Amino acid sequence: MHQKAMIDSLRSLLFNLQVDVIVAKVQNVCDDWKPNNPIHSFNRMYFIIEGSGPIEVDGTAYQAKPGQLILLPCHTVQSFPEDSDASFHKYWCHFTARVGSRDLFELYRFPVCLEAPDPSEVKRWFQQIVDCNADLSPAAILHSRSALLSLLGLYLQQPCEMIANPAAAAQKMNCVLQYIEQHLDQKITIEQLAGLAHYHPNYFIRAFHTLLGCSPMQYMNRLRVEKARQLLASDQSIGSIAQAVGMEQHNFSTMFKNHTGFAPRDFRRMLKL
């Protein structure tokens, strides 16, 4: 999948992203704490305040140091070298970032180590997560997720790559996603997509929703809206934009307003204010 198509696919997936903090703390850790080849279904994120030392993720070595964010994705092998005596003062949290039945970091690989662009802001976000983790009020759930999303946003600004997944169902669905992105200017039916995956249409809809957290039609319409928003910044006619996203103009205008709250012409005028 080429870079633009991958970015478009990632943007669409993020509409269905559900993040949850499992636990978060700030503490000193040393020899009594060392990941020893664990493989977990949750992700870990650290912000190193003091200390440095090596850490390995799926056999690749990294050097953690102050001011860095460290992302340890789910379903990866994580360890310290046996001769390491590293100790850290750090913020840390365990979290999930799910899109349907899959975690975002099962689908895309981001840098493990990231220099915090603004350490004081990163520290504030982590402290918010830690404080909210101990707060049982309903609002604390939203504040915690808000801070975690801000931290994840730093990673999403970095180059990433789609992970090749050997699972047959995931491979089939990747083929479907590529077909949608390459034929968005055409009328696409559920029967066509189900045929690509060699599924019955009803089973295909369920499988798509399980993997991506939305229906095929919701996914396609979100891609269409994203493409239309970009094209509305040009002088291209509304009719030709509707054709570019594979829809009749009337249906396009209705769909666009349902997703954005604005008719295409109103949205274009707003862009020029």
Which of 131-140, 167-176, 190-199 bottoms out in mean pLDDT, i.e. has the lowest?
A: 167-176
| 262: helix, strand or coil | coil
- 152 vs 129: CA distance, rounded Å: 13
Q: Which two tokens stand for residue 257?
A: 């307003």
pLDDT value at residue 166: 46
What's this model's pTM, rounded to 2 decimal places?
Answer: 0.70
| 24: helix, strand or coil | strand
pLDDT value at residue 237: 94
Q: Which two tokens stand for residue 2?
A: 């080429």
List Cβ neighbours of 8 (8 Å cut-off, separation of 6 or more).
Answer: 181, 223, 226, 227
Closest CA to 67 of 93, 37, 90: 90
Is residue 194 within 8 Å of residue 200, measured between CB atoms? yes
pLDDT value at residue 178: 83
Which of 47-51, 62-66, 202-206, 211-215 bottoms out in mean pLDDT, i.e. has the lowest?
A: 211-215
Residue of 184 and 214 predicted with greater confidence: 184
Q: What is the pLDDT of residues 143-178, one digit of tens each?
A: 999 999 999 999 998 888 776 554 556 667 778 888
Mean pLDDT of 29-36: 56
Q: In the chain, which ranges are continuous DSSP H helix?
A: 3-14, 104-107, 119-133, 138-156, 168-182, 190-197, 201-212, 216-231, 238-244, 249-260, 264-271
Q: What is the pLDDT of residues 56-109, one digit of tens each?
A: 888 888 988 999 999 999 888 887 765 555 678 899 999 999 887 778 888 888
pLDDT value at residue 82: 59
The pLDDT of residue 30 is above 80:
no
pLDDT value at residue 168: 59
| 179: helix, strand or coil | helix
